[in-house]
Amino acid sequence: MLGLDPIIIALRIPALLIAITFHEYAHGRMAFHFGDTTAHDHRRMNLNPLNHLDPIGSLMILLVGFGWAKPVPINPARFRRFKSGLRWVSFAGPMANFILGFITLLLLTVLVQGGLVEGLFLQFLVVLMQLNILLAIFNLIPVPPLDGSKILMSFLSEKYLGYYRMVEQYAPIILIILVFTRVLGAIIFPLYNLVLSFYSLIIGLILPGF
């Protein structure tokens, strides 16, 4: 699992740039699909990692393995279908990370079994795989401003949306408490292991000889 080893932290930097860039690009691209050009208009619908870095969220990723990027500007009022648009746009970022995590693990399996990778590059691929899965799971937690909160909102009736918006103002404090009391880690890391086991099962079916 991710740790505070200086080499691992250094390897997280390029892994972080890859993970958050595809995460935010996926949000912008899905929003564009649903009719919202806001990300495109603000020149955020691209793969330039410097456009997507959030200082605090990036520091969290480097130190504890999960955090957030600078959100791509989205205007849900411009979606052709509001609720389904909000749901899929919010899910697009975590899904991009799940896909990247799976592809990286698949590549790792082939390279390691073939004896084609070792040393720092091997460590980098492991960190990239871990970071993408952790980032995806973290962002699916239904606490604002994380993607999971918007997914939840897309399923709520107007009555419950009102209650949810009342809690929303306290969300940053709730999030900080969850991180520093390690409650969040107790939720995220078991889910990480579950996802990793599922990926390994799928790869075993795809590559039965490995």
Q: What are phi and psi of 100, to 5 degrees?
A: -60, -40
Q: Which residues of 58-89 are buried (b: 16+ CB within 10 A; e: fewer)?
A: bebbbebbbbbbbbbbbebeebeeeeebbbbb
> Which residues, other chains included, contact 25 with Cβ-Cβ below 8 Å and sequence gap of 6+?
45, 46, 47, 52, 72, 96
User: DSSP for 128-185?
Assistant: HHHHHHHHHHHHTSSSTTSHHHHHHHTT--HHHHHHHHHHHTTHHHHHHHHHHTTHHH
Greatest extent of the chain over all pairs of C-alpha atoms, in Å:
58
Integer Cα distance of 140 and 23 in angstroms: 12
Annotated catalytic, 158? no
**Token output for 27:** 């949000």
Residue 168 is classified by DSSP as H
Contact call for residues 12 and 30 (beta carbons, < 8 A):
no
- Of 24, 118, 158, 168, the catalytic one is 24
Residues designated as active site: 24
